[in-house]
Copies of this chain bind each other. A is one copy, B any other.
Amino acid sequence: MNTEAPDDASIAAAARLKPIAEIAAEAGVPDDALEPHGRHQAKIDVNRLGAGGPAGAVVLVSGMSPTPAGEGKSTVTVGLGDALAAAGHRTMIALREPSLGPVFGMKGGATGGGFAQVVPMGSINLHFTADFHAITSANNLLAAMVDNHIHHGNGLGIDPASITFKRVLDVNDRALRRIRLDSGARRETGFDITAASEVMAVLCLARDMPDLKARLGRITVGFTRTGLPVTAGDLEAGGAMAMLLRDAFKPNLVQTIAGTPALVHGGPFANIAHGCNSAIATNTARRLADVVVTEAGFGADLGAEKYLDIKARAADCPPTAVVLVATVRALKMHGGRAKDELAAEDPAAVAAGLPNLARHVDNVRRYGYQPVVAVNRFGADTREELAVVERFCAENGVRCAVTEVHERGADGGAELARHVAALLEETPSFRPLYPRDADVEEQLGAIVRTVYGGDGVEFAPEAREQLDRIRAHGWERLPVCIAKTQYSFSDDPARLGAPTGFTVRVRELVPKTGAGFIVALTGTVMTMPGLPAVPAAERMDVHDDGTVTGLF
């Protein structure tokens, strides 16, 4: 980024958007499958799509362990999609929807940047088509029905202290992490952020409406006094929840600044949830396009691991190619430089940070893929610093491309697109990390030792008890979804680079029987974020003509 370049908001505002019906027609979406939401957004009724040809190939974009500012993974995903489209590939992009929590907290908007953005930026970042709100509603209806059931006599015999199902809101609200209900059941509980909710995971993993309904009905809310699980189905809540999610379950179509179609749908966080856009969007994109470029959140230890071990198996959408986004900035941080020193040239620090990238490369190879490293170039990066990464890749037989999609759009991603296109000619053999019948303890051990590079797992006493209960209910072969800091391979955000000699401490194991996985909470990672001392919200405004400021 050089300082003379126009800023992201100006670029988005200056973009000439096509009517969404035109984008849809070009993408092969028939008119009667399109439900417009404003002029430039639409939902797709997948029941009205044609049969389609062979499923398109998936390109999974993940990354090295990020800095707090983010490495531009969404930007690279969008730019790569634009570049593949420009090279003549029938391409669709599949991204997660932004959560309002981070928008008003630290991060601002989450729709890419520069000349690699999905638009309309303002709407996508602000409610979009209200999917998160529908998820919040469905989640909180179930929560209300749980306490209401207890209030009206508790016919099912629910033990209030055993209730694991929490309310959610799409806001960073630290004060709601732990609350005591002083009406009704008078119990301790708390709110999670919507992006961490099981309903979000269910919506993102369900193949179709019957599967969505079945998964909602299977959500465990707590246990009876005799230790039996109580589900949403037991409370007759599944139908109403599915009704609330009817429209939210339909993928959202938007476009990039370059006019490439993008499905932006579902938004679990990658550090506290499974981190991938919805399976129905990915698979819809595969019906419509030859190449689908999708992103899995944060570093490959979180997003890619969950894409490959959870989503790809649940929704039968293994990738054909994997991209790892790296930045000179992040390498310098992993090489020992402080966050406020990352703009200063320091090739030695870049080199010192390479072990972090190397471990991510090794991990991707373990799943059966030869990754492409995309070095997302920032304005302060020097030729010499970039050469350090290129040399590392050459020496290790890793494809590498420096991308400048932020400043140059599709042109800045042309080389990356060529590498990816070459990989799409090959037929990788996808190897999940653990077999489907692995016990959750074995799974955790495999992920920590193989992907994270640690020595093993230790369980807090409460987690150990939860593990026993999980086994007693026969849930131990569900895949594990690890909630962990994104900054380190370990559960300690301060251990940068490629740490070794650590164990990961599991403090809680929460069965999510609707989503079909078991959440393992590690370290101090929180399922409800807080706002910073000066929230981004303070600088935001809307003008009388509806234009917004402060989203970037």
Give me the interface of A with B, judged by CB distance under 8 Å.
35-39, 43, 45, 47, 100, 104, 123, 126-127, 129-130, 133-134, 136-137, 140-141, 143-145, 147-148, 151-153, 167, 169-185, 188, 208-210, 213, 235-237, 239-240, 242-244, 246-247, 530-533, 535, 537-546, 548, 550
Contact = CB atoms under 8 A, between A and B. Distances in A.
Q: What 5 pairs across the A-B complex have the smallest Cβ distances?
A: A239-B541, A133-B133, A130-B130, A240-B537, A147-B175
A239 B178 contact: no
B171 A141 contact: yes
A246 B546 contact: yes
Nearest to A172: B144
18 contacts: A36-B37, A38-B43, A104-B141, A126-B246, A127-B130, A129-B130, A145-B531, A148-B530, A175-B185, A178-B181, A178-B183, A179-B182, A179-B183, A209-B544, A243-B540, A243-B542, A246-B542, A246-B546
A129 B128 CA distance: 11
Quickly give the copy total for this chain: 2
Contact of A175 (B45, B123, B181, B538): B181
A240 B540 contact: yes
A546 B152 CA distance: 32
A167 B191 CA distance: 12
Given A133-B137, A145-B531, A126 B243 contact: yes
A55 B546 CA distance: 25
A140 B171 contact: yes
A60 to B, nearest CB: 30
A325 to B, nearest CB: 30
Contacts of A151: 174-175, 530
B178 A179 contact: no
A126 B243 CA distance: 8
Given A147-B175, A179-B179, 18 more contacts: A47-B546, A100-B137, A127-B244, A127-B247, A129-B130, A140-B171, A140-B173, A153-B533, A167-B169, A176-B181, A180-B180, A236-B538, A239-B537, A242-B541, A242-B542, A243-B541, A243-B548, A243-B550
A181 B182 contact: no
A213 B43 CA distance: 31
Contact of A36 (B38, B167, B236, B541): B38
A240 B104 contact: yes
A538 B533 CA distance: 43
Contact of A127 (B43, B47, B133, B147): B133
Given A237-B537, A246-B548, A178 B182 contact: yes
A264 to B, nearest CB: 16
Contacts of A123: 247
A374 to B, nearest CB: 33
Highest count of chain B CB atoms <10 Å: which of A143, A240, A535:
A240
Nearest to A181: B175
Contacts of A235: 538
A210 B544 contact: yes
A545 B47 contact: yes
A247 B173 CA distance: 24
- By CB atoms of chain B within 10 A, which of A37, A153, A209, A237 has the most? A37
Nearest to A177: B183
A145 B537 contact: yes
A148 B47 CA distance: 45
A535 B147 CA distance: 12
A508 to B, nearest CB: 17
Given A177-B183, A181-B179, A242-B541, A535 B148 contact: yes
Given A239-B542, A240-B538, A176 B183 contact: yes
Contacts of A174: 144, 147-148, 151, 183-184
A105 to B, nearest CB: 9
B531 A148 contact: yes
A506 B541 CA distance: 38
Nearest to A178: B182
